[in-house]
């Protein structure tokens, strides 16, 4: 069902009832009418909430009639909300597939257990139902509601949210709105207006002069509130056929404004998809409501739809790709006292991370563990981590996962590590070179789909697989002992061991990613094989990227490089990955658990190509004879100078930052940031808009010159202006410059953790032109 303004007017009675929000109407909106699982959720029931062996308590849960929140019974008086939002749910896992349920429940409870996994730092909700059937009702019902809310169009999601806010403002539930309720509603949706304007708006809508708004008056108020003048202006320019856009008019808009290579069939397809008025659709016309719907669909977004799915060549050697990579993957928080968890691996893998780190140490009862050595971080069993990796590695991406081992274990526990890797990962683990002869270069991501590679120390050369000689080489400890770089406050630095004993069983499963110490680019070129990989601490890597960028690029055109944050980053903060991508480094490892600008850049870098976690490097970074230097630009194939014109027009439904304070309204401004080679780095910002997060309008234009577009990222950031302190983060969106579409485009904003904020968007105009 379409939710355009035309529909609102034509089905007035339906939507007045919708304002009152009854579950039957909302289920119509979400397509869940009559669903037995959802009806079960709306009735609610008792579940056992699990926190530990000793904390398992019955609590009542129920889906609220707004379809956006779940009530949960709580006996905690202070500081505990008794609801959570459907929008905050990442996934619902059936069975004992969380760390808590695996630890604190018995195997015979498997079919009664499930977990609600949240997008933010909030802990998982681990639950036990009274029966297998009841667990199925809960999990299936929640999955359907999450999916239905996620699948609402931007227009539907926006209107659903607004009507829900209206319902909450109607304190006495009389289906009417007083002036006071209207002012409270406006604050709820992030608009502060003075009393005179509020009274003027109220009187304009109160045509019955009853002192309340009801029925058609509420719909008139809604129409005034959601009217977008900027869309009206654009539409009227091209609506040249009886006040509407014909297919020909729409095609002109697509070609001249959106700079798309569209045909008449493309225009007709958009009308069929987006137009809510059946008469207009039959005539091949698009109304203003249909035009707005189009602009809020994927076709109207800034991100090029052609780049959404896998579109790059995946048959090139592995080192020709940037690889989404995690540092200290086991940590949920900081690296001094934070908890280690299998959940951290699951979250990274579900974000398409393709290289995870396993910091392995001797544990009790002969069982190797993973944690951040020399610190107070908690420990997790190595075998549990491998099980979690096996389960979740290929749910988002089918392309290979690299297991980066930092090995501090005794021989016996190393042997057990090798046993777990082989027995749990099975045939998916690469244990010998592909093919029947000694390789001279890496296999491709395509060759390695669904496979695991181990990165670590190896005793001998890879050609031992193809010769009778299997002489072992003496080997030393990890090329950079990352854990030794971290110390507790007041402690002396831990000494680094120069030698270690390596179990043959563990050595033998290191195939394409043999860890070696870096001496120099000349030494690497002359003495090391293609599969021998060096890791670089951020200071070393950034220095090489600055002083020897071309040599670093040539090195990475043949071999793999891994970089990682300095041990002094005890708060698990991140370094800037861009200079290292500019130098061709493939495995730029970041702390995925830490929300920050650097992780925004990482998410933007790996947004295209089907969320595969692999991005093909530009050709000039794959050429071993390249002369490209990102720090001192010269003419070459990398120089594709562009003029980037951006007009920040408006924003829609920005979130309130302080929901506890009803009168807290944001004063938004927009920053446009360019990241890439040093000559391309730039930032510009708009003025701020006072007291309006619902529909602020800027109409400010900026121009940038981009010299190396294939390495540029663009970040749009919205902040809440503050005169007395730093501006507060509202939302952001980052994408590669080469994935930007021209024309009038919406931008879906993301929160600090990279999740899309429902309904919140920017509206911009983009023009990219070639420069000589």
Catalytic residues: 327, 372
The answer to whether 281 is annotated as binding is: no
Start-end of H helices in 152-194: 154-169, 179-188
The answer to whether 543 is annotated as binding is: no
The answer to whether 299 is annotated as binding is: no
The answer to whether 55 is annotated as binding is: yes
Rounded to whole angstroms, the Cα distance separating 724 from 97 reads: 46
The answer to whether 139 is annotated as binding is: no
The answer to whether 67 is annotated as binding is: yes
The answer to whether 187 is annotated as binding is: no
Contacts of 101 (CB under 8 A, 6+ apart): 50, 95, 113, 115, 126
Would you put residue 67 in left (φ > 0), alpha (ψ -120 to 50) or beta? left
The answer to whether 359 is annotated as binding is: yes
Residue 409 contacts residue 362 (beta carbons within 8 Å):
yes
Q: How far is CA 199 from the centre of its chain?
A: 42
Contacts of 636 (CB under 8 A, 6+ apart): 620, 627, 628
Phi, psi of 637 (to 5 degrees): -65, -20
The answer to whether 322 is annotated as binding is: no
Rounded to whole angstroms, the Cα distance separating 218 from 154 reads: 22
Secondary structure in 3-state letters for 500-527:
CCCCHHHHCCCCCEEECCCCCHHHHHHH
The answer to whether 68 is annotated as binding is: yes
Q: C-alpha dihedral over 82, 87, 88, 90, to 10 degrees? A: 130
Q: What stretch of H or E contains 598?
A: helix 597-605
Among 417, 398, 407, 418, smallest CA distance to 354 is for 398
The answer to whether 65 is annotated as binding is: yes
The answer to whether 540 is annotated as binding is: no
The answer to whether 49 is annotated as binding is: yes
- Coil, helix or strand at residue 263: coil
The answer to whether 56 is annotated as binding is: yes
Fill in the DSSP letter of residue 339. Answer: P
The answer to whether 71 is annotated as binding is: yes
Rounded to whole angstroms, the Cα distance separating 666 from 192 reads: 9
> Which tokens go with 489?
């406050």
Among 577, 548, 581, smallest CA distance to 708 is for 581
The answer to whether 720 is annotated as binding is: yes
> Which tokens go with 165?
């806010």
The answer to whether 605 is annotated as binding is: no
The answer to whether 70 is annotated as binding is: yes
The answer to whether 721 is annotated as binding is: yes
The answer to whether 60 is annotated as binding is: yes
Contacts of 723 (CB under 8 A, 6+ apart): none
The answer to whether 74 is annotated as binding is: yes
> Which tokens go with 747?
């931008």
The answer to whether 64 is annotated as binding is: yes
The answer to whether 357 is annotated as binding is: yes
Fill in the DSSP letter of residue 448. Answer: T
The answer to whether 87 is annotated as binding is: no
Tell me whether residue 289 is exposed, middle or buried, using C-beta atoms within 10 angstroms of its C-beta: 0 to 12, 13 to 18, 19 or more: buried
The answer to whether 628 is annotated as binding is: no
The answer to whether 581 is annotated as binding is: no
Residue 676 contacts residue 714 (beta carbons within 8 Å):
no
The answer to whether 406 is annotated as binding is: yes
Phi, psi of 113 (to 5 degrees): -95, 150
> Which tokens go with 389?
């990796």
The answer to whether 465 is annotated as binding is: no
> Which tokens go with 669?
């401004």
The answer to whether 73 is annotated as binding is: yes
Rounded to whole angstroms, the Cα distance separating 611 from 350 reads: 10
From first CA to last CA, the distance across the chain in angstroms is 49
What residue numbers does the annotated binding site for substrate cover?
49-76, 455, 457, 535, 562
Binding-site residues for Ca(2+) sit at 328, 357, 359, 406, 665, 667, 691, 720-722
Binding residue positions: 49-76, 328, 357, 359, 406, 455, 457, 535, 562, 665, 667, 691, 720-722
């Amino acid at each position: 069902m379409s939710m355009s303004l035309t529909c609102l007017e034509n089905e007035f009675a339906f939507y007045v009832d919708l304002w009152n929000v009854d579950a039957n109407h909302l289920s119509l909106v979400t397509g869940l009418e009559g669903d037995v699982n959802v009806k079960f959720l709306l009735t609610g029931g008792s579940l056992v909430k699990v926190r530990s062996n000793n904390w398992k308590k019955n609590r009542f849960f129920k889906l609220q009639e707004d379809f956006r929140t779940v009530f949960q019974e709580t006996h905690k008086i202070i500081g505990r909300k008794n609801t959570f939002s459907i929008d905050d749910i990442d996934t619902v896992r059936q069975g004992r597939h969380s760390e808590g349920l695996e630890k604190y429940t018995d195997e015979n409870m498997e079919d009664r257990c499930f977990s609600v996994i949240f997008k933010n730092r909030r802990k998982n909700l681990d639950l036990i139902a009274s029966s297998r059937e009841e667990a199925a009702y809960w999990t299936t019902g929640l999955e359907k509601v999450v999916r239905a809310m996620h699948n609402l169009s931007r227009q539907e999601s926006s209107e659903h949210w607004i009507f829900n806010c209206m319902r909450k403002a109607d304190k006495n539930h009389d289906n009417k709105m007083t002036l006071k309720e209207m002012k409270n509603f406006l604050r709820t949706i992030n608009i502060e207006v003075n009393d005179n304007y509020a009274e003027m708006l109220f009187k304009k809508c109160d045509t019955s002069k009853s002192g309340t708004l009801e029925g058609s008056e509420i719909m008139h108020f809604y129409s005034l509130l959601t009217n977008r003048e900027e869309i009206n202006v654009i539409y009227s320019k091209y609506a040249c056929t009886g006040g509407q856009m014909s297919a020909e008019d729409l095609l002109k808009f697509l070609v001249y404004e959106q700079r798309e290579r569209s045909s008449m069939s493309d225009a007709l397809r958009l009308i069929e998809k987006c137009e809510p008025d059946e008469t207009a659709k039959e005539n091949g016309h698009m109304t203003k409501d249909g035009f707005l719907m189009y602009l809020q669909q994927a076709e109207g977004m800034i991100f090029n739809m052609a780049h959404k799915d896998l579109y790059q060549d995946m048959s090139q050697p592995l080192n020709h790709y940037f690889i989404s990579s995690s540092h200290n993957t086991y940590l949920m928080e900081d690296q001094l006292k934070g908890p280690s968890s299998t959940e951290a691996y699951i979250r990274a893998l579900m974000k398409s991370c393709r290289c995870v780190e396993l910091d392995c140490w001797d544990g009790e009862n002969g069982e190797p563990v993973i944690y951040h050595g020399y610190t107070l971080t908690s420990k997790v069993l190595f075998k549990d981590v491998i099980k979690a990796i096996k389960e979740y590695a290929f749910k988002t991406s089918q392309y290979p996962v690299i297991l980066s081992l930092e090995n501090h274990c005794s021989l016996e526990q190393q042997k057990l590590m090798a046993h777990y890797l082989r027995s749990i990962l099975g045939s998916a683990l690469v244990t010998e070179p592909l093919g029947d002869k000694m390789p001279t270069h890496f296999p491709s991501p395509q060759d390695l789909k669904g496979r695991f590679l181990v990165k670590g120390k190896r005793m001998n050369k890879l050609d031992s697989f193809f010769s009778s000689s299997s002489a072992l080489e003496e080997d030393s400890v990890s090329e950079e002992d990352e854990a030794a770089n971290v110390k507790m406050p007041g402690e002396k630095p831990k000494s680094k061991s120069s030698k270690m004993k390596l179990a043959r069983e563990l050595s033998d499963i290191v195939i394409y990613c043999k860890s070696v110490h870096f001496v120099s680019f000349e030494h690497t070129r002359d003495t090391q094989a293609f599969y021998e990989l060096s890791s670089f601490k951020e200071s070393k890597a950034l220095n090489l990227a600055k002083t020897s960028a071309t040599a670093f690029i040539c090195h990475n055109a043949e071999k793999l490089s891994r970089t990682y944050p300095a041990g002094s980053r005890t708060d698990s903060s991140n370094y800037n990955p861009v200079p290292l991508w500019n130098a061709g480094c493939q495995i730029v490892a970041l702390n995925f658990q830490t929300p920050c600008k650097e992780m925004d850049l990482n998410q933007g870098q790996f947004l295209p190509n089907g969320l595969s976690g692999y991005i093909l490097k530009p050709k000039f970074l794959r050429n071993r004879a390249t002369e490209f230097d990102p720090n001192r630009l010269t003419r070459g194939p990398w120089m594709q100078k562009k003029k980037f014109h951006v007009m920040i027009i408006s924003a829609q439904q920005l979130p309130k930052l302080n929901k506890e304070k009803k009168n807290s309204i944001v004063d938004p401004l927009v920053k446009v940031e360019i990241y890439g080679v040093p000559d391309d780095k730039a930032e510009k910002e708009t003025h701020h808009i006072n007291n309006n997060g619902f529909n602020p309008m800027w109409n400010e234009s900026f121009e940038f010159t981009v010299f190396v577009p294939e390495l540029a990222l663009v970040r749009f950031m919205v902040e809440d202006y503050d005169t007395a302190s730093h501006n507060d983060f509202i939302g952001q969106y980052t994408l590669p410059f080469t994935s930007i579409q021209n024309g009038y485009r919406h931008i879906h904003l993301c929160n600090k953790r990279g999740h899309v904020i429902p309904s919140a968007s920017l509206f911009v105009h983009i023009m990219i032109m070639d420069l000589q």
